């Protein structure tokens, strides 16, 4: 599992989207909660280093450089911060994800700037080949355990799995797959757990870049013809970017995904409970077992411990 030769530090890579944060007080306070809790609970060995990657614009980078030393002052481990310019990444991504954007983006057209919402999908082609694994994390998270423990989940991936992810905890995909479910009443697509296929949430994602690069199946699914075929089959039209793409290919090829326990991404948003799905909501929302990471999605308040 350890990729480094003797004597070299082992790196643990995490990546966060970090754009337009300097103009939003709300996003800044989420950033503070996430980084402070990650630092407080983080434990690493002396020969290990946590590498924090931020995809940012100039203003957000400046803000992060100013705030991070204080936010991470409780960290009892080595860390390093790397900034990636959102424009540079978008330029590399656009040709790869252009064809899928129209199926999984808000609005009618495929905007150049939306390509970045598909970064995780093509991360294996963006990051240097020396990087074997990376964890992508939303900013509206609160860590209650050691982030290093999350990386241990890579060891439990079955051989074909490329991504480790938690299921979606609202009936959003029950809604999205409405037509397919009507045409295929016996299908488990969009059904609640434990037997159904509720789709995925992209707030916490373990990307095995090595396997993503080597998987013929996964790379075939990125091709425009395959995306078109599946979106037609499932009548899929979404607006959540990578999360929608992974959910759709997961219906067809569940073996590509390793399911993480729900406690690794305990989503708190309840929007769909009050928008037509109150009767089935709890079936999706229920998550037993310890909460390792809270996800205050759709601006939901995260409880104090």
Query: What residues form DSSP beta bridges with 167?
Result: 200
241 binds ligand UPG per the rule CB under 6 A: yes
Give whichever of 16 and 293 is closer to ligand UPG, judged by the CB atom. Answer: 16
Q: What is the largest CA-CA distance in the chain?
A: 58
16 binds ligand UPG per the rule CB under 6 A: yes
297 binds ligand UPG per the rule CB under 6 A: yes
Rounded CA-CA distance 92/125 in Å is 9
Per-residue CA distances from 153 to 159, 181, 207, 223 (Å):
13, 32, 11, 29
Sheet holding 163-167, edge to edge: 78-85, 48-56, 10-18, 133-137, 200-208, 163-167, 257-259
203 binds ligand UPG per the rule CB under 6 A: yes
Determine which residue in the list 240, 256, 291, 293 makes contact with ligand UPG, applying CB under 6 A. 240
CA angle 189, 194, 242 (to 5 degrees): 50
Residue list 248-277, contact with ligand UPG (CB under 6 A):
269
Q: How far is the CB of 4 from ligand UPG (least distance, A)?
A: 28
Helix or strand or coil: residue 263?
helix
The stretch near ligand UPG (CB under 6 A) out of 93-101, 159-167, 175-183, 198-206 is 198-206
Determine which residue in the list 27, 50, 150, 206 makes contact with ligand UPG, applying CB under 6 A. 27
Q: How far is the CB of 299 from ligand UPG (least distance, A)?
A: 7
Rounded CA-CA distance 48/58 in Å is 29
Q: At a CB cut-off of 8 Å and minimum separation 6, what does 131 contact?
A: 13, 209
Rounded CA-CA distance 268/265 in Å is 9
Tell me how many residues contact ligand UPG (CB under 6 A). 19
17 binds ligand UPG per the rule CB under 6 A: yes
Determine which residue in the list 9, 10, 19, 239 makes contact with ligand UPG, applying CB under 6 A. 19
140 binds ligand UPG per the rule CB under 6 A: yes
202 binds ligand UPG per the rule CB under 6 A: yes
Residue numbers at the binding site for ligand UPG (CB under 6 A): 16-21, 27, 138-140, 201-203, 240-241, 243, 269, 297-298
């Amino acid at each position: 599992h350890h990729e480094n030769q003797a004597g070299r530090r082992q790196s643990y890579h995490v990546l966060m989207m970090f754009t337009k944060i300097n103009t939003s007080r709300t996003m800044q306070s989420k950033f503070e909660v996430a980084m402070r809790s990650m630092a407080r609970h983080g434990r690493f060995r002396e020969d290990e280093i946590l590498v924090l990657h931020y995809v940012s614009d100039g203003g957000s980078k400046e803000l992060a450089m100013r705030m991070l030393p204080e936010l991470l002052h409780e960290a009892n481990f080595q860390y390093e911060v790397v900034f990636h310019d959102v424009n540079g990444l978008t330029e590399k991504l656009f040709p790869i994800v252009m064809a899928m954007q129209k199926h999984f983006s808000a609005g009618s057209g495929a905007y150049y700037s939306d390509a970045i919402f598909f970064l995780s999908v093509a991360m294996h082609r963006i990051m240097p080949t020396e990087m074997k694994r990376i964890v992508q994390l939303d900013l509206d998270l609160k860590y209650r355990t050691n982030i290093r423990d999350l990386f241990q989940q890579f060891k439990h991936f079955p051989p074909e799995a490329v991504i480790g992810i938690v299921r979606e905890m609202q009936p959003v995909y029950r809604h999205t797959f409405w037509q397919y479910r009507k045409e295929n009443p016996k299908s488990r697509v969009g059904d609640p757990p434990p037997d159904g296929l509720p789709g995925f949430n992209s707030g916490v994602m373990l990307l095995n870049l090595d396997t993503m690069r080597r998987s013929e199946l996964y790379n075939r699914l990125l091709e425009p013809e395959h995306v078109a075929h599946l979106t037609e089959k499932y009548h899929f039209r979404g607006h959540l970017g990578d999360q929608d793409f992974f959910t759709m290919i997961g219906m067809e090829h569940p073996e590509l995904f390793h399911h993480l326990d729900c406690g690794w991404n305990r989503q708190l948003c309840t929007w769909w409970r009050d928008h037509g799905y109150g009767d089935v909501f709890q079936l999706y929302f229920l998550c037993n077992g310890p909460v390792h990471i809270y996800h205050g999605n759709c601006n939901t308040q995260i409880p104090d411990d």
